[in-house]
Structure 1
Amino acid sequence: MKKVTVIWSSPNTEGLTASAKNQIMKGLEEAGAQVEEIHLNEKKLEHCRACANGWGTCNKTGTCVIRDDFSGIYQSLANADGIVWISAVYWSDMTECFKAFFDRLRRCDATRNHSLAEKRCMLIACAGGTGRGTLECLTQMERGLTHMGMRAYDRIPVVRFNREYMLPALYTAGKAYAACLENGFDMYY
């Protein structure tokens, strides 16, 4: 049984992003994956301090000097076979909470640890407004993954105008992702 960490960010636990998270988790679980959910908005996470002229212990030891929930979440991601990244879209980008975590993760993993390298991930961006920012948000997410050596298996934009067919598609995508993690990917992602 493969372990998948679903990490998401939205202050609205009843909105579109939460619905997308629920559907992908349902598909993963029904396909037999062991799923761990991490809701970043419920965690204590500070912004990077850029200590020691910008490269503190993250560069030297792969750890962060800030004592909050970051290290536990990082360990969960390192232990996972697959990761699903889900963010609400604000101003064509990830939520501020997501970005704060992602910035610190990138500093520790890309420069020193490489614990997340080669992990195949799913990226989901959810926009309740016009939806125009989802593709830019997915691009930003993938750019960060690339810095850490991870690979995007799929990139899924969900907007209020396509929710009726995208939410069921996320269920199916979760099942397909779990199967690929278990049986292997048929192409390089």
Structure 2
Amino acid sequence: MRLCFITGCLPILLNLARGSNEMKVLAVIGSPRKNGNTETLLRAVLKGVEAAGGETEVVRLCALRIQPCIGCGGCDKTGQCVLEDDMQELYPKILASGRLLLASPIYFYGITAQAKGFVDRCQALWSRKRLLSEKGEWRKDPTRKGFLVAVSATHGERVFEGAILTAKYGFDAMGMGYGGEFLVKGMDGRGDMAQDAATLTRAEEAGRKFMD
């Protein structure tokens, strides 16, 4: 993919942000396990999102080639990441979405490596926001929101704290406010979530409310 400098690239990305659709929802799955507890929970949330009129697109990070941020500072002057991989396809999807759901199981009191790598690569979007702000061209859209869906095996009192903080600042880099979360503890075995009909019903309702 061709990369461009601030004079050519940022106005294009700005137009994408201004053209974001409140009903367009990007769901990002950070679990390395396909159809696991996290994905089952997310699907229930998305059912509610779609019932409320949301147009959903699901991205499974483990199926993509996304390199970790290398801290090179390449995005500082352009607002554009220099790493050419599948993340380049996600940037415009993020900017065009009015809602974003980040779903991840909890690994050692945080989100997965796949989910964290995705968030880290959104440093380019933070740089873009800063550059546009300096030019007086950044306008925050209060309707754009991010939502965290997370599942833990344990019942630790603070088990979700790290994930929530990461999600909040990640969404901020994407130009989104924090819309809330749906968190479930005690899902240790494979298939546990699919057996919890009450929680899935509550998740569906949370998806509806997320579109308010």
TM range (shorter): 0.7 to 0.9
Q: Structure 1, unaligned stretches of length 5 or more?
A: 181-189
- 1:14 deviates by 2.4
Decide whether the 8 Å contact of 1:77 with 1:116 is kept in 2: no
TM-score, normalised relative to structure 1? 0.82
TM-score, normalised relative to structure 2? 0.74
2:55 is aligned with 1:34? yes
Q: Which residue of 2 aligns with 1:5?
A: 26
Q: Alignment RMSD, CA only?
A: 2.2
Q: Which residue of 1 aligns with 2:154?
A: 130
Paired with 1:116 and 1:91, the residues of 2 have a C-alpha distance of 37
Q: Choose which of 167, 172, 179 in structure 2 pairs with 1:141.
A: 167
Q: Percent identity?
A: 25
2:173 is aligned with 1:173? no
- 1:117 deviates by 4.9
Q: Structure 2, unaligned stretches of length 5 or more?
A: 1-21, 131-137
Decide whether the 8 Å contact of 1:109 with 1:116 is kept in 2: no
Paired with 1:156 and 1:142, the residues of 2 have a C-alpha distance of 14
Q: Secondary structure at the match of 2:154?
A: coil
Paired with 1:116 and 1:15, the residues of 2 have a C-alpha distance of 38
2:180 is aligned with 1:154? yes
Decide whether the 8 Å contact of 1:92 with 1:136 is kept in 2: yes
Paired with 1:14 and 1:148, the residues of 2 have a C-alpha distance of 27
Q: Secondary structure at the match of 1:6?
A: strand
Paired with 1:137 and 1:168, the residues of 2 have a C-alpha distance of 23
- 1:116 deviates by 10
Paired with 2:45 and 2:161, the residues of 1 have a C-alpha distance of 19
Q: Secondary structure at the match of 2:114?
A: helix
Deviations 1:15-45 (A, max 9, x none): 2101111101111112221101111111110
Q: Which residue of 1 aligns with 2:97?
A: 80
Decide whether the 8 Å contact of 1:40 with 1:98 is kept in 2: yes
- Letter in structure 1 aligned against 2:101: V
Q: Choose which of 62, 80, 95 in structure 1 pairs with 2:79.
A: 62
- Letter in structure 2 aligned against 1:168: T
Paired with 2:139 and 2:37, the residues of 1 have a C-alpha distance of 28
Decide whether the 8 Å contact of 1:26 with 1:174 is kept in 2: yes
- 1:78 deviates by 0.5
Paired with 2:115 and 2:101, the residues of 1 have a C-alpha distance of 13
- 1:13 deviates by 1.5
Q: Which one has the largest radius of gyration?
A: 2
Aligned length: 173
Q: Which residue of 2 aligns with 1:186?
A: none
Decide whether the 8 Å contact of 1:46 with 1:100 is kept in 2: yes
2:137 is aligned with 1:121? no
Q: Secondary structure at the match of 1:71?
A: helix
Q: Say which is worse superposed, 138-147 or 149-158, in terms of deviation.
A: 138-147
2:40 is aligned with 1:16? no
